[in-house]
Chains A and B, each alone.
Chain A
Amino acid sequence: MRRPRRAAPRARGSRTMLGSGRRRPADSRPDQWVLVAPEPVTDLPMKPDGGPLFTRLRNPSTGEAALYLFNSSAQQLFEVKAFHEEYRSWFIGQTVQHDGRLLFATPMDPLFLVLFYLIKAEKEKGKFQPLDQVVIDSEFSSCTMLLQCAGVMDSLHHVIEEKEIGNKKFYKYSQEKTLKWLKKKVNQTVKVLKSSNVCVGGRVQLATFISGKQITDVKEDDYIRYAHGLISEYIPEDLSVELSKYLQLPELTSPEADPPLKKRKFSDAPVEAEEDYTKFNSSDLKNKKTTSKMSAAQKALAKVDKTGMKTMSAFFSAKPKATK
């Protein structure tokens, strides 16, 4: 995603890389994948024709297509991400696999995906609706499976107001409740960030399990901000802005708030890797700066524009990027 992969002759492989060359047509699609998944994903299905299912759903943060995995019983949802270092390939047994990515399937709270539709419905109609009229998507029909996931119905109350008329239940998105719920999410994320020694400060240091020391100037705010950033990967941008306010995160005032990033690599690491890294960081810094400085403008934008955009995207169904 950082570089237009399609344009270049497909060549991954790396550091020591293996590229592929002319033998392989540029548009050849991978037919084999290396995946790391929770062990229960491979559990035997209850029904003979069951089995884990990869499917595309709307990424709740961007609204674009992303790959997810349901386990055999369709009770659990997993998000799929790829570790992708350019120029790498797999050697598997006696074969070489050109695609050197390592896919990760990790647990995903389906409520994030349901929330996307609840917010959308709120913006479009703004009234109580039955769930099956909300979680519906002509482009991503599998989204109805979300409601069958374990715990989804039980956790809905975190994000909605509920009304029961006759025997039927009607729901309406509640930002107030959602922010409370998200705050809890942030808190549990902060906990794991601390126990996993993730470097949350502006400074990148060696993983702490090597140095054994946590950097002293990392503040609680840094953890909260970092966790907020992670949670924001799963919610629409305007909600992320609201959450930031709700968490009372101080705005980053100056670019100095993020001290220059330390080199992560050892001194004899390749020069180009460091260059890449610095470039990324500077862009990251820039990115943050913009976010903080423009937050007022963004809010306005979010209020005015966002609704329209969402509806439009739903209407024209911005075609998800074709898969390779």
Chain B
Amino acid sequence: MELREFERDNAGSCRLGSPVPELCRAGPCCLGIDEAGRGPVLGPMVYAVCYCPLAKQEELGALKMADSKTLTEAEREQLFGTLDRARDFVGWALHILSPNLISTSMQQRAKYNLNALSHDTAIGLIQHVLDAGVQVAEVFVDTVGPAEKYQEKLKRHFPELEVTVRPKADSLFPIVSAASICAKVARDRAVKNWTFPEDLGDVRMEYGSGYPNDPKTKEWLAQCLDPVFGYPQFVRFSWSTAQTILESKAVPVRWDDSEDDPAQKGTRSVLSFFALKESSKRQPHRFFHERKLEPVTGL
């Protein structure tokens, strides 16, 4: 698994995958989808698809794929090795979403929530595999959200495919287990090899599991906080854990789209302020108002 393309710009997103096995272009295939790193406040989220011919499902079963969550990192690496050796009939593809992309998407003016982002990423991956010539017939998807709506959405996009969205699909269908291993291995590697473009000085890199409830993660977040810029881009700013620390420890930032305008609060409205000024002083010409140019009285 070569993540160099992602590492080159770990602020964006990147799609990569194995070569497509010829067998997958020749006959109907099943395809499994799973994700890794949805919950953590740190690092990228990885979507993976794994596919193999329906005719090769027994061989896939023999590879003894299992839900990645039940495995140790070493076991996952080992199983990924197994998948890699089965490259004549098993293929995979990944979409890595950087924490920066997640942050900026979720905090967009026109909100783009994580579910929608996930769904669109999955749809993109299926299309990507179809475009590569894989004869996808059946799709199995693991989900954390409501399965039915997700299933409908996928069916609308791919009416010709048989779609099964199921919670815990990663432990029920070997092809989803295989996808979960690809996703998790990629996420682990991306986190492990994360190159911080930021100069964090002497902050220690002990950030724990990256899950918000991990005390080590919390401590690290507090430690690497820059009063102006906040966190490095390794952190998902959109997570409430990160937000809470920012709000209490960093300088406040007022965004263009924030709803509370401090000047509008309190007893005096902007209009009353104008009225007040009118009586005492000449108003600058609107040329200056429109250009936000003010007189200066001193340095």
Contacts and interface: CB of A to CB of B under 8 A. Distances in A.
Interface string B272-286: 011100100111111
Interface of B is mostly: loop
Interface stretch (A19-27, A110-118, A122-130, A171-179): A19-27
A45 interface: no
A279 B270 contact: yes
B282 to A, nearest CB: 6
Contacts of B198: none
B252 A19 contact: yes
Interface in B208-242: 227-228
B252 A11 contact: yes
Given A67-B299, A83-B292, A84-B294, A280 B274 contact: yes
A1 B261 contact: no
A89 B258 CA distance: 17
A15 B285 contact: no
Contacts of B281: 62
Given A59-B295, A323-B299, A272 B261 contact: yes
A118 to B, nearest CB: 20
A232 interface: yes
A321 B297 contact: yes
B112 to A, nearest CB: 15
B275 A17 contact: no
Nearest to A17: B254
Contacts of B287: 198, 226, 229-230
B170 to A, nearest CB: 40
Given A229-B286, A237-B282, A54 B299 contact: yes
A275 B255 CA distance: 16
B284 to A, nearest CB: 7
A23 B251 contact: yes
Nearest to B251: A21
Interface in A8-41: 8, 11, 13-21, 23, 30, 33
B8 interface: no
B158 interface: no
Nearest to B299: A54
Given A18-B251, A21-B251, A323 B284 contact: no
A280 B284 contact: no
A299 interface: no
Interface string A71-93: 00000000011111111000000
Query: Which of A2, A62, A204 has most chain B Cβ within 10 Å?
Result: A2
A226 B258 CA distance: 35
Given A11-B254, A198-B287, A287-B278, A279 B271 contact: yes
Contact of A103 (B252, B285, B296): B296
Contact of B296 (A21, A67, A87, A237): A67
Given A18-B228, A83-B291, A284-B289, A2 B251 contact: no
Given A65-B297, A81-B295, A284 B286 contact: yes
Contacts of B264: 272
Contacts of B274: 279-280, 283
Interface residues of A, number: 65
B131 interface: no
A270 B254 contact: no
A190 B171 CA distance: 77
B293 A13 contact: no
A273 to B, nearest CB: 7
A23 B227 CA distance: 9
A33 B299 CA distance: 8
B278 A85 contact: no
A241 B120 CA distance: 64
A82 B228 CA distance: 24
A268 interface: yes
B95 to A, nearest CB: 28
Contacts of A310: none
A11 B137 CA distance: 58
B253 interface: yes
A65 B283 contact: no
Contacts of B227: 23
A18 B230 CA distance: 12
A320 B283 CA distance: 17
A157 interface: no
A181 B256 CA distance: 45
Contact of B254 (A19, A232, A264, A282): A19
A19 B295 contact: no
B199 to A, nearest CB: 10
Given A67-B298, A81-B296, A276-B270, 5 more contacts: A17-B255, A83-B294, A96-B228, A270-B256, A286-B278
14 contacts: A2-B270, A14-B254, A17-B254, A33-B299, A61-B282, A83-B294, A104-B293, A229-B286, A230-B285, A272-B264, A280-B289, A283-B275, A284-B289, A290-B278
